[in-house]
Amino acid sequence: MVRNIEVNKSTKFKEILTKREFVILLLILIVSVFFSLMSENFLTINNLTVIFGYGSVYALIATAMTVLFISGSFDLSIGTHLAFLGVFLGMLLGNNIPTYLAIVITILLSIFNGFIIGALVIKLKVDCFIVTLGSLLIFLGAAYLIGYGSSVAVTTYTGSFGNFPESFTRIASGKFFNIEYINFYMVLIVGLMHILLRNNIFFRQNYYIGGNRPAARLAGVKVNVIMIFNFVLVSLMVGIATILRASRVGSTSQSDGGQSLSLFIIAAVILGGASLKGGVGSIIGSILGVFLLVIINNGLVVLNLSPFYTDIIIGFILLISVLLDEYKERLFIEKRFK
């Protein structure tokens, strides 16, 4: 009896050590210690504020992208969507539209964009890759048109908007106990999404859809409704992230986000345990993935190294994560059919 208890404890301990979230958390600690030893500027209050500020923006988008991944789909347009919504928001604020109204309009536009993307993919059955790639280009072009063509842009050459009213900038940049408001918003939204994905029936159904979509339909799951909702959710989070980022930084630009942001978020979500095949993933894993990549990027900047190293490192991490997932899946299949 005692031996069985010891075996169970040993098994559970091994499961914890091999759990994706634990491994990423351990990597975060190792990388943080490394950069803190390499530079005394890494663990300063100012630098930690930068890490959590950018991490909070990316984390918001990653939560929704995780849900979309679990259902077996993805969105490549999030980076240029953020740029488009940013310059659109900047244009509204630059034309003296009241802060609350500018926020509402931006949120509604983001929801509308997400609905159109979702409807094209789910209702018209256009390939997700084609739709989101096309959307990426549309948002990119629209962002540059607004940036270059707006008379209220601070700098038309870069399509930058700024000089936002204090009623807008304090939404995210205000501080409570020296912690920026944006971090509290992130914790609140991430916590809510984590609870919903673990306990809410509507959100839980994404695992069934991603695992076996035809079977989910036969079981009575409203696949089309949930899938369109997921695309809307991603766009909504992009809208919220755009507003909070603009409020914290105090400016927006047509070059914000871009294609690199899309790849960054997708890499973080896959690193966190989600799969392009669908059916698996967790909010906590994705958030840890986001902060690991943010810390690596920030650490390289602090060390005055080329930002191109970040792309190389992220690429290697992404490939290793996918290869490990494939290896684990093959081992599982082999054990199951032995």
What pLDDT digit, counting tens, does each position of 143-187 carry? 988 887 776 766 656 668 888 889 999 999 888 888 899 999 999
Is residue 211 a part of any domain in this protein? yes
Is residue 109 a part of any domain in this protein? yes
Is the model's pTM score more than 0.85? yes
Nearest by Cα to 19 from 332, 276, 327, 272: 272
Spell out the residues 6+ positions from residue 24 whose beta carbon is closer than 8 angstroms to its own: 271, 272, 285, 288, 289, 292
What pLDDT digit, counting tens, does each position of 11-25 carry? 554 455 457 889 899
pLDDT score for 253: 85
Is residue 316 a part of any domain in this protein? yes
Percentage of the chain beyond pLDDT 90 is 62
Is residue 119 a part of any domain in this protein? yes
pLDDT score for 31: 93
Task: State the Cα–Cα distance between residues 117 and 111, nearest whole angstrom.
Answer: 10
Is residue 12 a part of any domain in this protein? no
How many distinct structural domains can be found in the chain?
A: 1
212 CB-contact burial (10 Å; exposed 0-12 / middle 13-18 / buried 19+): middle
Q: Range of 128's domain? A: 44-332
Q: Crossing angle of helices 283-302/20-38, nearest 10°?
A: 10
CATH number for position 260: 1.10.3470
If you average pLDDT over residues 218-233, what whole number do you get? 95
What pLDDT digit, counting tens, does each position of 79-137 carry? 999 999 999 999 999 888 999 999 999 999 999 999 999 999 999 999 999 999 999 99
Is residue 93 a part of any domain in this protein? yes
Is residue 110 a part of any domain in this protein? yes
Is residue 24 a part of any domain in this protein? no
